[in-house]
Chains A and B, each alone.
Chain A
Amino acid sequence: GDSVTQMEGPVTLSEEAFLTINCTYTATGYPSLFWYVQYPGEGLQLLLKATKADDKGSNKGFEATYRKETTSFHLEKGSVQVSDSAVYFCALLMDSNYQLIWGAGTKLIIKP
């Protein structure tokens, strides 16, 4: 079945470091791909999305490119801040049932 695999956390970085959180997927069709962020004590917020191959989603300095050839949607940011500390979830959505398939989440810790 369809699935999403994220790199395990926690990922600990210093402020201004470069961030990559890996996400790969398995899907029988052509899903839309999403990154959600959950700040401590809060609900999930949509961070960015891409709905077709080669699309790049971006928001708040984060970027992710929908790579069909490698079935990946890695999250990147050039210079992280302490305020980026959160849990990041990768997810895919098929048009067959509109149910998000979730990765396990990756906790990001940014140290000043």
Chain B
Amino acid sequence: NAGVTQTPKFRILKIGQSMTLQCTQDMNHNYMYWYRQDPGMGLKLIYYSVGAGITDKGEVPNGYNVSRSTTEDFPLRLELAAPSQTSVYFCASSPPTELYGYTFGSGTRLTVV
């Protein structure tokens, strides 16, 4: 049972480059989320999805895009990387109930130089 899998674990991008952070879950969870965590800070919600084909903006969506074509996958796209996007990115998933909380991936550490 893999849970939530994120790839890559580390990445260095140059300013203006693009990349996709991958997230896959095998728990058949409806809900999926992308967070960023800046050094010494808490979590900020970037985007979330309540099911395949449905996505919505979180607190800090600018500079990012997402898609949800399947229940399992929720990739996060950075189109024009900026130094302000240097952060650790976490993907999470949950069932549609308040009883269980979220399951998190291990994170992607992104540096934009």
CB B17 to nearest CB in A, in angstroms, measures: 25
Q: Interface residues of B, CB < 8 Å — how many?
A: 23
Contacting residues, chain A, for B107 (C-beta < 8 A): 42-43
CB B48 to nearest CB in A, in angstroms, measures: 7
A-B contacts counted at CB < 8 A amount to 52
Given contacts A42-B106, A44-B104, A99-B48, contact A32 B98 (CB under 8 A): yes
> Is the beta-carbon distance between B104 and A51 smaller than 8 angstroms?
no
CB B95 to nearest CB in A, in angstroms, measures: 8
A residues 47-93 with Cβ under 8 Å of B? 49, 51, 89, 91, 93
Q: Is B74 an interface residue (CB 8 A)?
A: no
Q: Is B45 an interface residue (CB 8 A)?
A: yes
Q: Is A102 an interface residue (CB 8 A)?
A: yes
Q: How far is the CA of A32 from the CA of B97 in the complex (A)?
A: 10
- In the complex, residue of chain B having the shortest beta-carbon distance to the beta carbon of A35: B101
**Binary interface encoding of chain B residues 13-47 relative to chain A, with 1 for a CB under 8 A from any of its CBs, else 0:** 00000000000000000010100000001110100
Q: Which A residues contact B (CB, under 8 angstroms)?
A: 31-32, 34, 36, 42-46, 49, 51, 89, 91, 93-95, 98-100, 102-105
Q: Which B residues contact A (CB, under 8 angstroms)?
A: 31, 33, 41-43, 45, 48, 50, 90, 92, 94, 96-107
